[in-house]
Structure 1
Amino acid sequence: MDDAQRRLLSALARRYYLEDASKTDLAAEFSISRFRVARLLQQARETGIVTIQIADHDERSESLSAELAHHLMLDECVVVKAGDDDADNRRRLAKVAAARIQDQVNEGDVLGLSWGRTLAAIGEELADLPPCTIIQLTGTVGHDLRQSPVEVIRRIAGRSSVDAVAIFAPLFAASEAAARTFRRDPAIRAALQRYDHLDHAVLAVGSWVPPITQLDTLVTERDLEELAREGTAAEVAGIFLRADGSPVDAAAARRRISVSVDELLATPQVTAVAGSVEKAPAIAATARSGLLTSLVTDDRTAASLLGLPAVTSRALVRQPRPHQGARRTS
Structure 2
Amino acid sequence: MSSRRTKQQDTLRAAQMYYLQDQTMDAIARELSTSRSTVSRLLAAARETGLVQIQIKTPSDRAPELERVIRTRHQVDVHVVPVSDMLNEVEVLERVSMQAARTIGPLVDSNAVIGVAWGSTVSTVSRHLTSKTTHGSTIVQLNGAGNTQTSGITYASEIIRRFGTAYGAKVEQFPVPAFFDHAETKNMMWRERSVRRILDLQERMTIAIFGVGSMDAEIPSHVYSGGYLDATDLDSLEASGVAGDVATVFFRSDGTDGGIVLNDRSSGPSLENLRKVRRRICVVSGRRKIRGLRGALAAGLATDLILDETTARELVEQDSHSSDPIFGLLQGLDGL
Q: Is the pair's TM-score, using the shorter chain for normalization, greater than 0.5?
A: yes
Q: Is the 8 A contact 2:153 2:175 kept in 1?
A: no
1:106 paired residue among 105, 109, 113: 109
Alignment partner of 1:194 out of 196, 201, 210: 201
Structure 1 counterpart of 2:42:
46
Q: Distance in 2 between matches of 1:117 and 1:214?
A: 6
CA distance in 2, matches of 1:312, 1:193: 42
The answer as to whether partners of 2:115 and 2:209 remain within 8 angstroms in 1 is: yes
The one-letter code matched in structure 1 to 2:144 is G
Q: Which residue of 2 aligns with 1:82?
A: 83
* 2:66 is equivalent to residue 64 of structure 1: yes
SS at match of 1:207: coil
Distance (Å, rounded) in 2 between the aligned partners of 1:53 and 1:250: 42
| Distance change in 2, residues 1:146/1:66 (3 Å) | farther
CA distance in 2, matches of 1:144, 1:135: 17
User: Cα gap change, 1:199/1:278 in structure 2, threshold over 3 Å: closer, same or farther?
Assistant: same
The residue that corresponds to 2:145 in the other structure is: 140
Q: Does the residue aligned with 1:125 lie in a helix, a strand or coil?
A: coil
SS of residue matched to 1:89: helix
Matched, 1:160 2:167: yes
Work out whether 1:272 is the aligned partner of 2:282: yes
Between the aligned partners of 1:127 and 1:213, the Cα distance in structure 2 is 24
Specify every segment of 5 or more residues in structure 1 that has no aligned partner in the other structure, as ranges. Answer: 1-41, 314-330
1:171 Cα deviation from its structure 2 partner? 1.1
What TM-score do you get using the length of structure 1 for normalisation?
0.73
Distance 1:53 1:144, change over 3 A: same
Of residues 213, 226, 242, the one that matches 1:206 is 213
The TM-score normalised by the length of structure 2 is 0.72
Partner AA of 1:214 in structure 2: H
1:243: how far off?
Answer: 1.2
The answer on whether the counterparts of 1:127 and 1:156 sit within 8 Å (CA) in structure 2 is no
The alpha carbon displacement at 1:248 in A equals 4.0
* In structure 1, distance between residues paired with 2:54 and 2:283: 25
- Tell me which moved more, 148-157 or 192-201: 148-157
Q: Partner amino acid for 1:128?
A: S
CA RMSD after TM alignment: 3.0
- Within 1, Cα distance between the matches of 2:234 and 2:55? 51
Contact 1:242 1:248 in 2 (8 A): no
When structure 1 is superposed on structure 2, of 190-199 and 211-220 the one drifting more is: 211-220
- Look up the equivalent residue of 2:292 and give its one-letter code: A
Q: Which amino acid aligns with 1:67?
A: V
Q: Residue deviations 1:240-270, cap 9 Å, x none?
A: 1111111143332111112222221111111
Matched, 1:235 2:245: yes
Q: Does the Cα contact within 8 Å between 1:205 and 1:282 map onto a contact in 2?
A: yes
Q: Distance in 2 between matches of 1:232 and 1:128?
A: 37
Q: Please report how far the alpha carbon of residue 210 of structure 1 lies from its aligned counterpart in structure 2 after TM superposition.
A: 6.9
Structure 2: tracts of 5 or more residues without a match: 1-37, 325-336
Distance in 2 (CA, whole Å) between partners of 1:237 and 1:190 is 19
Q: Which residue of structure 1 aligns with residue 297 of structure 2? A: 287
Which residue matches 1:322?
none
SS in 1 for 2:167: coil
Change beyond 3 A, Cα 1:153–1:49 = closer
C-alpha deviation, 1:91, in angstroms: 1.6
After superposing the two structures, state which structure 1 stretch, 180-189 or 270-279, moved more. Answer: 180-189
Partner-residue secondary structure (3-state), 2:250: strand
The structure-2 alpha-carbon separation of the partners of 1:53 and 1:254, relative to structure 1 and needing over 3 Å to count, comes to closer
Deviation, structure 1 residue 221: 3.0
Change in CA separation of 1:53 and 1:193 when aligned onto 2, cut-off 3 Å? closer
Structure with higher Rg: it is: 2
Q: Compared with structure 1, are the counterparts of its residues 136 and 296 closer, same or farther at alpha carbon in structure 2 (3 Å cutoff)?
A: same
Give the secondary structure class of the aligned counterpart of 1:158: helix
Q: 1:43 to 1:140 in 2, by over 3 A?
A: farther
> Which aligned segments of 4 or more residues in structure 1 are displaced greater than 6 angstroms?
47-53, 144-147
